[in-house]
Amino acid sequence: MDLADATFRATPNVSFEVVVIDDGSDDNTWQVLEQLARRYSFLRLARHRSRRGIADALRTGYLHARGHVLVFYPADLQFKPEDIPRLVAPILADEADMVTGFKEGKYEKALVSGIYNRLSRLLFDVKVKDLNSVKAYRREIMAGLPVRPDWHRYMVVIAAAQGFKVAEVPVPLYPRNAGRSKFATWHRIPIGVLDMLSVWFELTFGQKPLLLFGMLGATIFVVGVLAGLLALARLWIYDVGQRWVWTMLQTCLILGGVFGAAGLLGEQIAGQRAELRELRRRLDETDGPSSASTDDRLSR
């Protein structure tokens, strides 16, 4: 907290607050935080009864923060608070809506991160080097982020898809003060790839599921009809029937109908989701910070 306090004092033209999330710690973390909160007026605390992960911690921090610019910073001090002003500067200057930090220094999960970043750039065409690092972003970006486990890793991708301007600045990476990484093992790669495909599907077809299921169903249905016409033609011309063609016809017609019905059902679900997002946005506007201005409040 001393480092954060020194950084905040060095930038008196911008007001800050620090929201610390105790994600179900089973040690004396909460007691230490309460002592620090009595010492530092900018410190705000929130607590989870059990471990819920980074995505839920970010959501809790967003709900407790009062600022219009939020900064995600891990508590292990691999990144120093002194770099926060450089992260938020493009946002305060209205040059970007989200700024992600490009890590400079020795990185213990560089291989896994490199694979993830290359696949993400290939799939989503987002022109930043490091998608999963410290970030500064406008409050409305968090408001529009789907509440899904591990989807915080795709905040940059989702923000870019929603039309927000994304920028990148280099940030030094320091040795971890405490704890150890949970994402440096090989088993995280298939999990990350599946999450990536899930995000891609959401961004590509989440708003219009009939575009996928309807076209797929229509294609299969047409293949079935053509197969049936071909079988009828062969039966009429050569007086020869082929059972596999009739089996294919029946299968295609059934699958085409199923995919078409799934697309229509998906459209209904997408409509309900859109209404829920709009309701959530209005609630956030009603219950959001009233005393903060876009230019002069920052939450970490």
pLDDT digits (tens, 9 = 90+) for 37-48: 898 888 999 988
Dist CA 37 CA 3 (whole Å): 15
Contact 67, 17 (CB under 8 A): yes
Q: Select from 295, 296, 293, 280 the least CA-distant residue to 63.
A: 280
Confidence class for position 293, pLDDT limits 50, 70, 90: very low
Confidence class for position 290, pLDDT limits 50, 70, 90: very low
Amino acid 179: pLDDT: 57
Q: Mean pLDDT, the chain, as a whole number?
A: 78
Contact 158, 145 (CB under 8 A): yes
pLDDT digits (tens, 9 = 90+) for 25-36: 888 889 999 998
Maximum alpha-carbon separation in the chain: 93
Tokens representing residue 127 in the block: 């022109």
Q: State mean pLDDT over 86-106.
A: 88
Instruction: Name 18's bridge partners.
Output: 43
Higher-pLDDT residue of 81 and 241 is 81
Question: Does residue 292 carry a pLDDT above 70?
Answer: no
Higher-pLDDT residue of 15 and 108 is 15
Confidence class for position 146, pLDDT limits 50, 70, 90: confident
Confidence class for position 137, pLDDT limits 50, 70, 90: very high
Flag the least confident range among 51-60, 76-85, 229-238.
229-238
Q: What is the DSSP string of 6-42?
A: HHHHH-TTSEEEEEEEEES-SSSHHHHHHHHHHH-TT
Q: Select from 84, 64, 115, 120 the least CA-distant residue to 5.
A: 84
- The residues, ordered by sequence, that sit 6+ positions from 101 with a Cβ below 8 Å of its Cβ are 79, 83, 87, 130, 133, 134, 135, 168, 169, 170, 171
Question: Does residue 98 carry a pLDDT above 90?
Answer: yes
Cα angle vertex 92, ends 88, 97, to 5°?
A: 75
Higher-pLDDT residue of 74 and 105 is 74
Tokens representing residue 198 in the block: 């899930």
Beta strands 166-172 and 297-299: pairing type?
unpaired
Confidence class for position 59, pLDDT limits 50, 70, 90: confident
Higher-pLDDT residue of 295 and 111 is 111
Q: Residue 285 gets which letter from DSSP? A: H
Amino acid 289: pLDDT: 47
